[in-house]
Structure 1
Amino acid sequence: MQILIHSTDAEQWRAAIADALPTASVVTSEASLELRQDADYLVAWQPPGWLFEEQPHLKGILNLGAGVDALLANPSLPPGVPIVKLRDAGMADPMIDYVRYAVLHFQRDFDRYARQQAHLQWQEQPLVPKADWAIGVLGLGAIGARVAQALAADGFPVHGWSLRPKNLDGITCHHGEAGLKALLGQVTSLVTLLPDTPATRGIIDAEALAALPRGASLINPGRGSLIEETALLEALGPADREDEGDARLRGAVLDAFPVEPLPADSPLWQHPRVLITPHMAAPTPRDAALAQVIATLRAWQAGESVPSIDPAAGY
Structure 2
Amino acid sequence: MTQTVLFAAGEARWPSYEPHLRAAFDAAGLDARLVTSCPADQADYIVFAPGGDIVDFAPYTRCKAVLSLWAGVEKIVGNATLTQPLCRMVDPALTAGMVEWVAGHVLRHHLGMDRHIVNPARDWNPEPPPLAAERPVTILGLGELGRACGQALAALGFPVTGWSRSPRTVQGLACLSGDDGLRQALDSAQILVTLLPATPETDSLINADRLALLRRGAVILNPGRGTLIDDAALLAALDTGQVGHATLDVFRVEPLPQDHPFWAHPKVTVTPHIAAETRPSSASRIIAENIRRSEAGEPLLFRVDRARGY
**TM exceeding 0.5:** yes
| Structure-2-length-normalised TM-score | 0.91
Q: Is 1:218 the equivalent of 2:189?
A: no
Deviations 1:245-276 (A, max 9, x none): x5101101100001000001100000011111
1:64 paired with 2:90, answer no
CA distance in 1, matches of 2:58, 2:171: 46
Q: Helix, strand or coil: the match of 2:224? A: coil
Instruction: Note the 1:235-254 alignment, pairs <5 A.
Output: 235-237=237-239, 247-254=241-248
2:60 counterpart (45, 50, 55):
55
Corresponding residue of 1:310: 305
RMSD of aligned alpha carbons: 1.9
TM-fit CA distance, 1:106: 1.6
Change (3 A) 1:6 1:314: same
Deviations 1:24-53 (Å, cap 9, x if unpaired)? Answer: 22211xx3x54x653121111113544525
Q: Secondary structure at the match of 1:268?
A: helix
Query: 1:27 and 2:35 equivalent?
Result: yes
The answer to whether the Cα contact below 8 Å between 2:56 and 2:82 also exists between their aligned partners in 1 is no
Identity, in percent, stands at: 36
Q: Among residues 262, 266, 277, which one is paired with 2:260 in the alignment?
A: 266
Matched, 1:78 2:82: yes
Letter in 1 for 2:43: A
SS at match of 2:75: helix
| Residue 65 of structure 1: how far off its partner (Å) | 1.7
Q: Which runs of 5+ in 1 are unaligned?
A: 238-245
Is 1:286 matched up with 2:297?
no
> Whole-Å Cα distance in 1 between the matches of residues 56 and 254 of structure 2?
23
User: Structure 1 residues 48, 211: CA separation in 2 closer, same or farther (over 3 Å shift)?
Assistant: farther
State how 1:124-203 maps to structure 2 within 5 Å: 124-203=126-205
Q: 1:48 to 1:178 in 2, by over 3 A?
A: farther
Distance (whole Å) between structure 2 residues aligned to residue 25 and residue 288 of structure 1: 19
Question: Does the 8 Å contact 1:71/1:77 carry over to 2?
Answer: no
For structure 1, which segment, 6-15 or 82-91, has the greater mean C-alpha deviation from structure 2 after superposition?
6-15
Task: Assess if the C-alpha contact under 8 Å between 1:135 and 1:159 holds in 2.
Answer: yes
| CA deviation string 1:77-109 (max 9, x = no partner) | 423x11111113311222111111211222111
Instruction: Measure, in 2, the Cα distance between the counterparts of 1:188 and 1:256.
Output: 21
Q: Please tell me whether the aligned partners of residues 138 and 186 of structure 2 are also in contact (alpha carbons under 8 angstroms).
A: yes
Aligned residue pair count: 300
Contact 1:63 / 1:85 at 8 angstroms: preserved in 2? yes
Q: How far apart are the structure 2 equivalents of 1:200 and 1:88?
A: 23
Tell me if structure 1 keeps the 8 A contact 2:41–2:62.
no
CA 1:13 to 1:37, structure 2 compared with 1: closer, same or farther past 3 Å? farther
Work out whether residues 138 and 193 of structure 1, in 8 Å CA contact, stay in contact via their aligned partners in 2: yes
Taking the aligned partners of 1:283 and 1:172, their CA distance within structure 2 comes to 28
Counterpart secondary structure, 1:143: helix
- Larger relative contact order (CA 8 Å, sep ≥ 6): 2
Residue 293 of structure 1 deviates from its aligned partner by 0.9
Counterparts of 1:271 and 1:92, CA distance in 2: 30
5+ residue gaps, structure 2: none
